[in-house]
Amino acid sequence: MKTCIVIPVYNSPYIREVIKSVVIYGYKIIIVDDGCDVKVDISGLDVELITHKKNMGKGQAILSGAKKAKELGYQSFVTMDGDKQHIASEISKMLDVYIDGAIVIGNRNFDDENVPNSSKFGRKFSNFWVKLETFKSLGDTQSGFRIYPVNILDFNIKNKRFDFEIEVLVLHSYKGGDIIDVDVECYYPPADERVSHFDKFKDNLRLSLLHTKLIIQRYLFLRGFLWQ
């Protein structure tokens, strides 16, 4: 199986550290600069760099990385965040369970004192709605540590920010695709070192609207109005 690593980044001070932690495993790395205020420094690092002129959202950054992965001949790619949360040595756990065409999710171990309660609640909330939408019990539907097949480029995904990661799972399930999850370790830095661009009001509103839409689509599907 040919796979590479896609790392979307927006104003992370840790991106060089993240790249160096991955490159030692020999993976091809694609960095997507999603309109960073300061140019991403990749000097001396063997990576592919894609640059968005303005911030377009995490989902669009992943899709840009997927397009480049496909151009380079890869069948799948691993997504990692640029904030040090995802641990490069854990990629092998996801690759071990990957099957052709599946999405694999790395279920983050939240048994850490630095994991905020809001993240724990958000994961449970998200898992609940995704189960209603897909009839699948998944452990960490908010995890951005995943393997995607490059054919997600063929999906008609409307949401291109943090809500992308929910919509792509549900659409993949509707199309009969496999979703596999596996437990992985992660690193949660102390609050004063944490980097997050999740807007608690705007992004939670987007997610609520998305779940409403997906529940309606599931109802129409069950009634035979869609995907015939």
**Mean pLDDT across the chain:** 87
Read off the CATH number of the domain in which 24 is found. 3.90.550.10
Establish if 215 belongs to a structural domain.
yes
**In this structure, is residue 81 part of a structural domain?**
yes
Report the C-alpha gap between 200 and 6 in whole angstroms. Answer: 25
pLDDT on residue 190: 67
Indicate whether 55 belongs to any domain: yes
Number of folded domains that form the chain: 1
The three-state secondary structure class of 22 is helix
Query: Between these two residues, 27 and 218, which has the higher pLDDT value?
Result: 27
Question: Does 52 reside within a domain?
Answer: yes
Encoded tokens for 164: 């992308």
Whether residue 35 lies inside any domain: the answer is yes
Give 201-227 pLDDT, tens digit per residue.
565 677 777 777 777 776 665 444 454
The string of DSSP letters for 135-188 reads S---S-TT---EEEEGGGGGS-----STTHHHHHHHHHHHTT--EEEEEE-B--
In a domain, 228, yes or no: no
| Gyration radius (Cα) of the chain, Å | 17
Alpha carbon distance, N-terminus to C-terminus of the chain: 32
Residue 146 lies in a domain: yes
pLDDT digits (tens, 9 = 90+) for 154-208: 988 888 876 889 899 998 998 899 999 999 999 987 665 655 555 565 656 777 7
Asked whether residue 227 is domain-assigned, the answer is: no
Task: Give me the pLDDT at residue 81, please.
Answer: 93
Asked if residue 80 has pLDDT above 90, the reply is yes
- What number is the average pLDDT over the span 134-150? 94
Range of the domain at 44: 3-222
Question: What pTM did the predictor assign?
Answer: 0.85
